[in-house]
Amino acid sequence: MSALTVTDLTVHRGECPVVDRVSLSLTPGEVVGLIGPNGAGKTTLLRAILGLQSHIGQSDLAQMPRRERAKTVAWMPQTREIAWPVAVETLVLLGRVPHLAGGARPKPEDHAATAQALDNMGLTGFETRPATELSGGEQARVLIARVLAQDTPLILADEPIAGLDPAHQITTMQVFARLAAQGKTVLAALHDLGLAARHCTRLLLLDKGRLVADGAPKDVLTPEHLHSVFGIAAHLVETDHGLIFQPLELTR
Amino acid sequence: MRLSLLLSGLAALVVVLFGLSLLVGPAGFGIGQSLSALLGGEGEAVTLVMREIRLPRSILAVMVGVSLGLSGAALQGFLRNPLAEPGLIGVSSSAALGAVLALQTGFAASFALALPVSALVGASVSVMLLLVLAGPRGGSLTLILAGIAISALAGAFLSLVLNLSPNPFAVSEIVFWMLGSLSDRSFDHVTIALPVMLLGWVLLASLGRGLDALTLGQDAAESMGINLSQLRLRLVAGVAASVGAATAVAGAIGFVGLVVPHILRPFVGARPGALLPASALGGAAMVLAADIAVRLVLPDRDLKLGVLMAIVGAPLFLHLIYKTRRQMI
């Protein structure tokens, strides 16, 4: 059974396709990294998969009724918006909105999910602080915690670890891995190819809106792909500590 | 619960101010005399004043306050911007334009609800125009610019109506709509405005959860199952109905929707949903207090309620702009 199926997804901006006939299928237990240079169409692809963007082609998420979709997939947008100085706990509790019917008040299990999410992101002790007064990286962690609190089988995140310190980048990727081990699926747009190589079970490489490679990190981060898509050369080596990737120089 | 404590405190404040509002006036009756006349009197002058002048005035102050406070909180929550306010962004003046046009063309006399409905139409047009102009992100700058443009346009058309009007009474009438006041109102005004306002209140009160989710931005809210286009529609209809009806009976009263949510936001933990009921009660308290003040400050000069609100509210608006600017740098 697949967690997400996308068939021939295309998004046009004017005449020009920014996402071009992308088909993919995710299975439960995967941590999938969506990589590609700036402007490759990563954000547009993710938004189209969610049905937030008008598109041609099929995504099974986009066809779901709103409420059901909100219980199936949690989405972390790239723009980290926190409009009001609400307490961290209140903000993370918003992730429970899809689980509250009508005007129902949060139940003990909603508070438990919130506490669990805060704990996962190392935010215990931050509960009552106004979220807008935290640093950028801390705000990002609060927003990831909100996504975790939504407790959905599928998580889509747009550059969730950008701007985090190394310890929290690793923590976040490990949380994703742990969720995947519980049978959930994570699809995250990433720019740090080193972290992507090390922590993802599978990579999708997007270039000019087309999906040019899909597979295990070592099969996607080949010298040919790195040259033709990113214009770089890199050192990629399989070690006892796992896959290690280090960009070296420009090739064009 | 802290919220229920705050709400009961505000409700108590409204009750106290409502009582005070009944007791303050140029006729200068004693407290006991006023209350016994209100509750049990028959036909004498005190009873008439209490029942036909002061009671409707106080009730209208509550209704207008709830409408303005609620609309301000809802608009701010939706646009994620503390500068949004029905008076400031041209909704009140557009509603006033609708009302003045209805009066001038005689449409207002055609059926009972014609006046509030015309004000409501004026208000809806301006809210929709505003949402289109301010764009989906509702940035401060575009919002304020759009508001200025709409206010200016509505003001220009009001002046045009005044300019072309053959009726010498039109001037004082239009001054009334532009300044806003609760003096010389009757129960007719209450019965005309109440149904429309109630509709608006119900629509706005249902927005709480959606506005809470919007704290995280439109994309995140939509992915959490919030139907944004339906939310926007309910907001436009709710603001238009409440502000339209409030303007139809009291003229354009600005700044209530700005000041009240601003003061109460820290007490509700900045949650936009919780701010809705708090602002509704706070708005009622503020308009009651201001309406008592206009009767006490210059008792024989008919100080207009809208003028007083602007004198209190405009400096706060400047302060807010200053604060927002500092955050943006």
| pLDDT, tens only, A227-248 | 999 999 999 999 988 899 999 9
The shortest CB-CB distance from A84 to any of B215, B223, B225 is to B215
Provide the pLDDT confidence category of residue B236 given band limits of 50, 70 and 90: confident
Integer Cα distance of B130 and B142 in angstroms: 9
pLDDT over 70, % of chain B: 94
Q: How many helices (H) and strands (E) does chain B have?
A: 15, 0
Q: Is the pLDDT of residue A93 over 70?
A: yes
Q: Does A140 map to a domain?
A: no
In a domain, A91, yes or no: no
User: Which tokens hold the place of A227?
Assistant: 């040259």
Q: Strand (E) positions, chain A?
A: 4-13, 16-26, 31-35, 56-59, 73-76, 154-158, 185-189, 202-207, 210-215, 232-239, 242-250
Q: Is A137 a member of any domain? A: no
Phi, psi of A55, deg, nearest 5: -155, 170
CB contact under 8 A, B219 and A143: no
Task: Determine the longest span between alpha carbons in chain A, in angstroms.
Answer: 58
Q: Does B317 or B95 have the greater pLDDT score?
A: B95
B269 and A87 within 8 Å at the Cβ level: the answer is: yes
Is any Cβ of chain B less than 8 angstroms from the Cβ of A91? yes
State yes or no: pLDDT of A131 exceeds 80. yes
C-alpha A35, offset from chain centre: 11
Instruction: Write the burial class of residue B47 (CB in 10 Å: 0-12 exposed, 13-18 middle, 19+ buried).
Output: middle
Q: Which of A109-113, B99-103, B319-323 has the highest mean pLDDT?
A: A109-113
When mean pLDDT is compared across A128-137, A159-168, B129-138, B179-188, the lowest value belongs to: B129-138
Contacts for B328 with CB less than 8 Å, ≥ 6 apart: B140
- Give B-chain residues touching A158 at CB under 8 angstroms: none
Contact A84 B208 (CB under 8 A): no
Asked if residue A236 is part of any domain, the answer here is: yes
Whether residue A222 lies inside any domain: the answer is: yes
Residue A105 has pLDDT above 60, yes or no: yes
Q: Which residues contact B278 (CB under 8 A, 6 or more apart)?
A: B3, B6, B7, B10, B73, B264, B267, B268
In a domain, A104, yes or no: no
Token pair recorded at residue B2: 């802290």
Cross-chain CB nearest to A77 (options B208, B220, B265): B220
CA angle B273, B90, B287 (to 5 degrees): 60
Per the rule left: phi > 0, alpha: psi between -120 and 50, beta: everything else, A10 is: beta
CA distances from A107 to A72, A178, A223, B245 (A): 20, 25, 52, 39
Residue B327: pLDDT band by 50, 70, 90 thresholds? Answer: low
Residue pair A153/A70 in contact by the 8 Å Cβ criterion: no
Per the structure block, which two tokens stand in for A119? 């704990």
**How confident is the model at residue B52, as a pLDDT?**
83
What pairing do the DSSP bridges indicate for beta strands A154-158 and A185-189?
Answer: parallel
Element (H or E) spanning B48, and its range?
A: helix B45-48
CB contact under 8 A, B220 and A81: yes
Q: How high is the pLDDT of residue B43?
A: 66
Q: How confident is the model at residue B171 (pLDDT cuts 50, 70, 90)?
A: confident
**Cβ <8 Å between A77 and B217:** yes
What average pLDDT does the segment B88-102 reach? 86
B 232-291 near A (Cβ less than 8 A): 265, 269-272
Helix axes B187-205, B55-79, angle to 10 degrees: 20
For A77, the domain range is: 4-81+152-250
The sign of the dihedral angle between the CA atoms of B284, B22, B195, B123 is negative
Q: What is the ipTM of this complex?
A: 0.91
Token pair 């009767």 is found at B295
Q: Which of helix, strand or coil describes residue A19?
A: strand
Cβ contact, residue pair B208, A79, below 8 Å? no
Residue A125 resides in a domain: no
> How far apart are the C-alpha atoms of A113 and B215, rounded to whole Å?
20
Q: How many domains does chain A have?
A: 1
| Cβ neighbour number for residue A108 with a 10 Å cutoff | 7
Q: Which runs of E-coded beta strand occur in chain B?
A: none
Instruction: Tell which residue, A58, A76, A68, A69, has the closest CA to residue A11.
Output: A58
pLDDT beyond 90 at A222: yes
Per residue in A157-173, pLDDT (tens digit) is 999 999 899 999 999 99
Average pLDDT of B64-75?
A: 95
Of A67, A81, A83, the CB nearest to B225: A67
A86 to chain B nearest CA, in Å? 5
Residue with the larger pLDDT of the pair B180 and A6? A6
The band of B66, judged by pLDDT with boundaries at 50, 70 and 90, is: very high
Separation CA B236–CA B247 (nearest Å): 16
Contacts A75 to B, Cβ<8 Å = 219-220, 223
Q: Which amino acid is at B46?
A: V
More confident residue, B252 or B280: B280
**Structure pTM?**
0.90
Tell me which of A73, A94, A139, A154 to substitute to probe the interface with B (most B C-beta atoms closer than 10 Å). Answer: A94
Residue to substitute from A49, A50, A84, A133, interface B, most B β-carbons within 10 A: A84
CA distances from B2 to B9, B207, B269 (A): 11, 21, 10
Q: Cα(A19)–Cα(A14) distance, rounded to whole angstroms? A: 12
Task: Note whether A44 and A20 are within 8 A (CB).
Answer: no
Q: What residues does each domain of chain B span?
A: 55-328
The CATH number of the domain holding residue A41 is: 3.40.50.300
- What does the alpha-carbon distance between residue B212 and residue B195 come to, in Å, rounded to a whole number? 28
Query: Domain for residue A87, yes or no?
Result: no
User: At the top level of CATH, which class does the domain B55-328 belong to?
Assistant: mainly alpha
Question: Is B224 in Cβ contact with A70 (below 8 Å)?
Answer: yes
Cβ neighbours, 10 Å, residue A222: 15
pLDDT value at residue A248: 93
Query: Which range is least confidently modeled, A40-49, B107-116, B208-217?
Result: B107-116
A77:B213 CB<8 A: no
Contact A67/B272, CB-based, under 8 Å?
no
What pLDDT is recorded for position B163?
82
